Amino acid sequence: MSTRVRNGLSETRTTPAEVIELCRRQEIKMVDYRFADLVGTWQHFSSPVKELEESIFVDGIGFDGSSIRGFQRIDQSDMLLVPDANTARIDPLLRIPTLLLICDVVDPVTRERYTRDPRYVAQKAEAYLVKTGIATTSYWGPEAEFFVFDDVRYDQSPHAAFYSVDAAEGIWNSGRDEKPNLGHKPRHKEGYFPVPPADSLQDFRSGLVLKMQEAGLEVEVHHHEVASAGQCEIDLRFTSLTDMGDQMMAYKYLVKMYAREHFKTVTFMPKPLFGDNGSGMHCHQSLWKNGTNVFHDPDGYAQVSETGLHYIGGLLAHSPALMAFCAPTTNSYRRLVPGFEAPVNLVYSKRNRSAAVRIPVYSTSPRSKRIEYRPPDPSANPYLAFAGMLLAGIDGIKNKIDPGKPMDVDLYDLEASEAAKIKQLPGTLDEALAALERDHKFLLEGGVFTRDLIETWIELKRTKEIDHVRMRPHPAEFFLYYDV
């Protein structure tokens, strides 16, 4: 791969001195230090640019780890952030010229990397891949979908609960008095691919893409998605695992910030609307060894090699556990519902979007051969989700896991007796966490994940999210049961 340049800097060999020179050249006023918490939300703090010295890239900057979700206890709260010079990018949206630096989390006493730092998990996954000898690089191309709304309101209290979202192009506004209402609002499930004016967000997405490019993200395509009410997708060019994790964090930040500048609001919730398509994050992935795509075989099924099929076998075998990281919210399972378009069936196929694994056949070029894993959604922490998928695939290759025969049929048209034979994903987050408890040995290989991280993840999800939802009356229950 050729070296890419971001903001005038060589991405693969940027030095602290070059970062400081960039700040001088671009008249940067502030430096923003960013890192992901365990759940996958970017955290940050800033300092004046004059405080940026080369020593910071070695010594780090202190912060309170006890205030970050999934990190330290209060009696062990002191932690360090060590900036990665290769991640330097200028924020294209903040009014004050600001440089962004993604940081690694380090223990100040041992000076060792922090095992609950999601970015460290991604880096260890890449190193483990090389150590296995299977490949030298994994490439990732997630397709993160999101909704662009014009208004959102929600509240939760002991005696009340509600949410309400609205979008100018929502089909439910076709009869609203807008003085005048100009129509052209996509009907449910008909938002893919009508041109403007039905696609009211063309310029919005184009402007957003230009800002992403300013930040060093390589964008391949953007378009409206299937749902009404502003569902969109912007696809980044594939890159290596940790780099794509970094880019996805920047991607979500830029989308939300650009929307706010335009008096809109974006959500990456998998299922904010009832009765219309949810938002997924289909993950294209391939393994390469010294410049050769090890997933390609011109004589294989859909031109996929035996190694690629075993990788698929690993993904399918470990999918129930993977969902704890790839579909990690209670809302994820409003999207992953059997009988609809969601990819809940643990089978693979070429071209078939009703399977958990799809093999694209747009091209016969060896360079284009990849597999697409469709269950993940954009609520996932990308570092943990990508690392988990890679480890599942590696386990499939090492143990030669047979993915079975491909299913080149519409799975929703199968006879009930045949459909019953197909394994499916968990139906709730609680089921996914239980699967992770049973099946996580593959994640521990190479020390990539730790038992501590997995146990912390399960506890956090159960106590802070699952219990929060299941202990509260649901508004739909009043509709169903108030008159019992």
Q: What is the pLDDT of residues 74-102, one digit of tens each?
A: 778 889 999 999 999 999 999 999 999 99
Tokens for 241, please give them.
């695992």
Evaluate if residue 27 carries a pLDDT over 70: yes
Q: Catalytic residue among 184, 260, 351, 353, which? A: 353
Q: Which residues contact 319 (CB under 8 A, 6 or more apart)?
A: 346, 356, 375, 392, 425
Tokens for 97, please give them.
């010229």
- Going 88 to 90 to 93 to 98, the CA torsion angle's sign is positive
**Distance (Å, whole) CA 64 – CA 426:** 36
Q: Hey, what amino acid is at 381?
A: N
Verify whether residue 415 is a known catalytic residue.
no
Lowest mean pLDDT among 151-155, 192-196, 216-220: 192-196
Q: Catalytic residue among 91, 126, 233, 430, which? A: 233
Instruction: Provide the mean pLDDT of the chain.
Output: 93
**Distance (Å, whole) CA 100 – CA 272:** 30
**Distance (Å, whole) CA 352 – CA 109:** 52
Give domain limits for the chain: 5-114, 137-481
Instruction: Mention the CATH class of domain 5-114.
Output: alpha beta
Nearest residue to 279 (alpha-carbon basis) of 350, 336, 328, 346: 336
Tokens for 116, please give them.
């609950």
Question: Concatenated DSSP letters for 89-131?
Answer: EE-SS-SS-EEEEEEEEE-TTT-PBPTT-HHHHHHHHHHHHHH
Evaluate if residue 351 carries a pLDDT over 80: no
Q: Catalytic residue among 51, 54, 64, 203, which? A: 64
Verify whether residue 438 is a known catalytic residue.
no
Please work out, in degrees rounded to the nearest 5, the angle formed at the alpha carbon of residue 347 by the alpha carbons of 345 and 352: 85
The whole-model pTM stands at: 0.95
Lowest mean pLDDT among 6-10, 94-98, 463-467: 6-10
**Distance (Å, whole) CA 354 – CA 19:** 46
Q: Catalytic residue among 91, 374, 395, 440, which? A: 374
For the chain, percent of residues with pLDDT exceeding 90: 86
Measure CA 50 to chain center.
34
Output the pLDDT for position 317.
Answer: 98
End-to-end CA distance of the chain: 65
Average pLDDT over residues 226-251: 96
Question: Which residue has 């809302």 as its token pair?
Answer: 331
**Distance (Å, whole) CA 22 – CA 304:** 44
Q: At what angle do helices 241-261 and 118-132 cross, to 10 degrees?
A: 150
Cβ–Cβ < 8 Å for 82, 60: yes
Q: Catalytic residue among 37, 126, 143, 297, which? A: 143
Evaluate if residue 4 carries a pLDDT over 70: no
Verify whether residue 353 is a known catalytic residue.
yes
Cβ–Cβ < 8 Å for 8, 91: no
Nearest residue to 245 (alpha-carbon basis) of 80, 384, 41: 384
CA distances from 87 to 112, 118, 253, 465 (A): 20, 16, 15, 32
**Distance (Å, whole) CA 375 – CA 353:** 11
Q: At what angle do helices 382-398 and 306-326 cross, to 10 degrees?
A: 140
Evaluate if residue 197 carries a pLDDT over 90: yes
Verify whether residue 233 is a known catalytic residue.
yes
Tokens for 338, please give them.
């059997």
Output the pLDDT for position 424.
Answer: 93
**Distance (Å, whole) CA 6 – CA 370:** 26
Nearest residue to 325 (alpha-carbon basis) of 277, 386, 370, 369: 386
**Distance (Å, whole) CA 382 – CA 388:** 10
Q: 417 phi and psi, to 5 degrees?
A: -65, -35
Instruction: Please write the tens of the pLDDT for every residue from 292-347.
Output: 999 999 999 999 999 999 999 999 999 999 999 999 999 999 999 886 778 899 99
Q: Catalytic residue among 225, 243, 395, 430, which? A: 225
**Distance (Å, whole) CA 448 – CA 118:** 10
For the chain, percent of residues with pLDDT exceeding 70: 97
Question: Concatenated DSSP letters for 217-265?
Answer: --EEEEEE-SSTTTEEEEEEPPEEHHHHHHHHHHHHHHHHHHHHHTT-E
**Distance (Å, whole) CA 245 – CA 125:** 12
**Distance (Å, whole) CA 378 – CA 328:** 9
Q: Catalytic residue among 91, 117, 145, 243, which? A: 145
Evaluate if residue 141 carries a pLDDT over 60: yes
Output the pLDDT for position 231.
Answer: 96
CATH of domain 137-481: 3.30.590.10
Please work out, in degrees rounded to the nearest 5, the angle formed at the alpha carbon of residue 329 by the alpha carbons of 323 and 330: 105
Output the pLDDT for position 12.
Answer: 62
Instruction: Please write the tens of the pLDDT for every residue from 371-423.
Output: 999 999 999 999 999 999 999 999 999 999 999 999 888 777 777 788 788 89
Q: Catalytic residue among 116, 282, 310, 370, which? A: 282
Verify whether residue 374 is a known catalytic residue.
yes
**Distance (Å, whole) CA 315 – CA 394:** 9
Verify whether residue 282 is a known catalytic residue.
yes
